């Protein structure tokens, strides 16, 4: 059985990711593990948030949003017949993947991102950084937001 670690956050519920999982299931038995880094919203990264002092911290909000996306994705992928589990990870996607690989030894890592121009992970060259830091194949899966919007 192949083991596939998927790192995603905003793209967890996309048709693009669901198709990739379905293709792998069709090719043979797979087990999946999703890691959703608890990355803060862009407006909270670059300066003080408009929400400062009005409730949960930026870290708590990032974790809650990643958890919500992860739970929806787990349900959706299980509906496709996938054997899948997952966790919310460190805000640093590289650290989140490293931590997940310690307890889910994978045969492949899939990095699911927003398209080029929108993706902070691509600006930070996440796929290449993971290829250098992992001893397993790393593939990049950019979301097709036009197709996902139609679905």
Residue numbers of the domain that contains 122: 2-33+57-73+90-150
| 102 in Cβ contact with 46 (< 8 Å) | no
Residue 120 placed within a domain: yes
CATH number at residue 143: 3.40.50.620
**Cα separation of 16 and 35, whole Å?**
17
Render 4-27 in DSSP notation, one character per residue: EEEE-STTTT-HHHHHHHHHHHHH
DSSP state of 85: E
| Domains held by the chain: number | 1
Model confidence at 45, in pLDDT bands (50, 70, 90)? very low
Residue 19 placed within a domain: yes
The pTM score is 0.87
pLDDT digit string (tens) for 76-122?
A: 999 999 999 999 999 999 999 999 999 999 999 999 999 888 888 98
Model confidence at 46, in pLDDT bands (50, 70, 90)? very low
């Amino acid at each position: 059985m192949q083991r596939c670690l998927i790192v995603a956050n905003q793209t967890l519920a996309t048709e693009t990711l669901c198709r990739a999982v379905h293709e792998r299931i069709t090719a043979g038995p797979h087990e999946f593990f999703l890691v959703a880094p608890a990355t803060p919203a862009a407006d909270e990264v670059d300066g003080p948030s408009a929400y400062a002092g009005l409730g949960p911290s930026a870290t708590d909000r990032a974790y809650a949003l990643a958890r919500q996306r992860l739970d929806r994705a787990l349900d959706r992928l299980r509906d496709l017949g996938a054997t899948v589990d997952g966790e919310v990870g460190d805000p640093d996607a590289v650290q989140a993947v490293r931590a997940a690989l310690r307890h889910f030894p994978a045969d492949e890592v899939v990095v699911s991102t927003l398209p080029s121009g929108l993706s902070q992970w691509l600006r930070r060259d996440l796929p290449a950084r993971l290829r250098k830091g992992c001893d397993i194949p790393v593939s990049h899966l950019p979301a097709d937001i036009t197709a996902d919007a139609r679905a």
